[in-house]
Amino acid sequence: MLQDNAIWMGVGAEPDCNHVNLLLNQANRHGLIAGASGTGKTVTLKVMAEGFSKAGVPVFMADVKGDITGMCAPGEDAEDMQKRIKKFGLEGFTYEGCPTRV
């Protein structure tokens, strides 16, 4: 989610840290997202790619396993998504697809 020239990445663990952001002017051309299975690497990649795309920054991702192919279509509403939207306080959230090329 892009807000005020920053990509909103999530919430911090500390009670007074509501938002964790990646400032566009501090992003590098290359990055590495590493971690064990089930730690959120794919979701993190999708959030960053969506934010950069909305800011007009071209994004290249190699998708060998096909985990991110659904980014071109808007998401579908579900009970779990409504819980997350409420948990993170995302007012005015809308499901949108991102422009893609194969």
Domain ranges of the chain: 2-88
Q: Which pLDDT tens digit goes with each residue over 57-78?
A: 888 888 788 888 888 888 888 9
Q: Which pLDDT tens digit goes with each residue over 23-43?
A: 888 888 788 889 999 988 888
Phi, psi of 9 (to 5 degrees): -95, -25
The residues pairing with 22 across neighbouring beta strands, listed in sequence order, are 7
What pLDDT, on the 0 to 100 scale, is given for residue 17? 65
pLDDT tier, 15 (very low <50, low <70, confident <90, very high otherwise): low
The number of helix segments (H) and strand segments (E) in the chain equals 2, 3
CA distance between the termini of the chain? 23
Residue 80 makes CB contacts below 8 A (sequence gap 6+) with: none
